[in-house]
Structure 1
Amino acid sequence: MRAPRTSFYSLAWRWHFYAGLFVAPFMILLALTGIIYLFKPQLDPLLYRDLMLVEAGEHRHSADHLLGQVQQAYPEGHIGQYLPPAAATRSAQFVVHDGGRELNVFVDPYSAKLLGAQDGKRNLQAIARALHSELMIGTLGDRLIELAAGWGIVLVVSGLYLWWPRGRRSGVLWPRLNARGRVLWRDLHAVSGFWGAGLLLVMLLSGMTWTGLWGKQYAELWNRFPAAMWTDVPQSDRQAGELNSAHRQTVPWALENTPMPASGAHAEHAGHGAHSSAPAAPQVSLQQVEDIATARHIEPGYSITLPTTAEGVFTVSVFADDPRNDATLHVDQYTGQVLADVRWHDYSPVARATELGVKLHEGKMFGPLNQIIVLLICLMILLGSVSGLVMWWMRRPARGLGVPPLRHDLPRWKTAIGVMLVLGVAFPLVGVSMLLLWAFDSLLLRRGLTVNA
Structure 2
Amino acid sequence: MSKVTQPWQDGPALSDSWRRVWRWHFFAGLIVMPVLMLMALTGGLYLYKTEIEGLAWRSMAVVEARDTRASADLWQKNAEQAAGGTALAVVVPDRPDRAVQVRVRTDHGERTVFVDPYDGQVTGTVGGQGIMELVKKLHSLELLGKPFNILVEVVAGWAIILVATGLFLWWPRKGRDVAVALPRPGNPARRPFWRDAHAVTGLYVGGIILFLALTGMPWSAVWGDRFMNVMRESGLGRPPAPAAASPWSHGKGHNAPSGTGWTMEHAVLQAPTEGPGMLSRVIATAEAEGMGAPYTVSIPADPTLAFTVSRVTRKAEDARSLYVDGSTGRVVADLRWEQFGGGAKAFEWGIAVHQGMQYGEINRLIMLLGCIGIWVLGISGGTMVWKRRPRGRGITPPPAPPGGRGRAAVLGIVLPLAVIFPLTGLSLAVALGAEWLWGRMRR
- AA at the equivalent of 2:419: V
Query: What corresponds to 1:273 in structure 2?
Result: none
Alignment of 1:64-75 (within 5 A): 64-74=73-83
* Aligned partners of 1:307 and 1:333 also within 8 Å: no
Give the share of equivalent positions with the same residue, in percent: 33
* Aligned partners of 2:239 and 2:339 also within 8 Å: no
* Aligned partners of 1:56 and 1:89 also within 8 Å: yes
Pair 1:438-2:432 in alignment:
yes
Query: What corresponds to 2:156 in structure 1?
Result: 149
Query: What corresponds to 2:181 in structure 1?
Result: 173
Shift of 1:219: 1.3
Shift of 1:165: 2.5
Pair 1:292-2:285 in alignment:
yes
Helix, strand or coil: the match of 1:316? strand
Query: What corresponds to 2:3 in structure 1?
Result: none
Query: What corresponds to 1:212 in structure 2?
Result: 221
| Separation in structure 2 between the aligned mates of residue 298 and residue 227 of structure 1, nearest angstrom | 19
Q: Deviations over 1:184-233 (max 9, x none)?
A: 11111111011111121111101111111111111111244577534442
Alignment of 1:14-33 (within 5 A): 14-33=23-42
Change (3 A) 1:4 1:260: farther
Pair 1:99-2:111 in alignment:
no
- AA at the equivalent of 2:109: R
Q: Deviations over 1:89-123 (max 9, x none)?
A: 211111111232211100111232211001115x3
- AA at the equivalent of 2:435: D
- AA at the equivalent of 2:77: G
Shift of 1:426: 0.5
Query: What corresponds to 1:335 in structure 2?
Result: 328
Q: Deviations over 1:62-96 (max 9, x none)?
A: 2122223223434x411111111221121111111
Query: What corresponds to 1:117 in structure 2?
Result: 125
Q: Please, which of 363, 367, 380 is the counterpart of residue 370 of structure 1? A: 363
Q: Please, which of 378, 382, 385 is the counterpart of residue 385 of structure 1? A: 378
* Aligned partners of 2:17 and 2:409 also within 8 Å: no
Change (3 A) 1:200 1:333: same
- AA at the equivalent of 1:229: A
* Aligned partners of 2:238 and 2:263 also within 8 Å: no
* Aligned partners of 1:93 and 1:106 also within 8 Å: yes
Q: Please, which of 171, 183, 203 is the counterpart of residue 164 of structure 1? A: 171
TM-score (norm 1): 0.87
Helix, strand or coil: the match of 1:255? coil
Q: Please, which of 415, 421, 431 is the counterpart of residue 421 of structure 1? A: 415
- AA at the equivalent of 1:221: V
* Aligned partners of 1:244 and 1:250 also within 8 Å: no
Please list every run of 5 or more consecutive structure 2 residues that lacks an aligned counterpart in the other structure: 1-11
Change (3 A) 1:241 1:399: farther
Shift of 1:401: 4.5
Change (3 A) 1:422 1:4: farther
Q: Deviations over 1:132-191 (max 9, x none)?
A: 112402322201122111110111100100111225666611232323322111111111
TM-score (norm 2): 0.89
Please list every run of 5 or more consecutive structure 1 residues that lacks an aligned counterpart in the other structure: 270-281
Shift of 1:366: 2.0
Change (3 A) 1:98 1:139: closer
* Aligned partners of 1:143 and 1:212 also within 8 Å: yes
Query: What corresponds to 2:264 in structure 1?
Result: 255
Shift of 1:433: 1.0
Change (3 A) 1:240 1:35: same
| Separation in structure 2 between the aligned mates of residue 239 and residue 157 of structure 1, nearest angstrom | 39
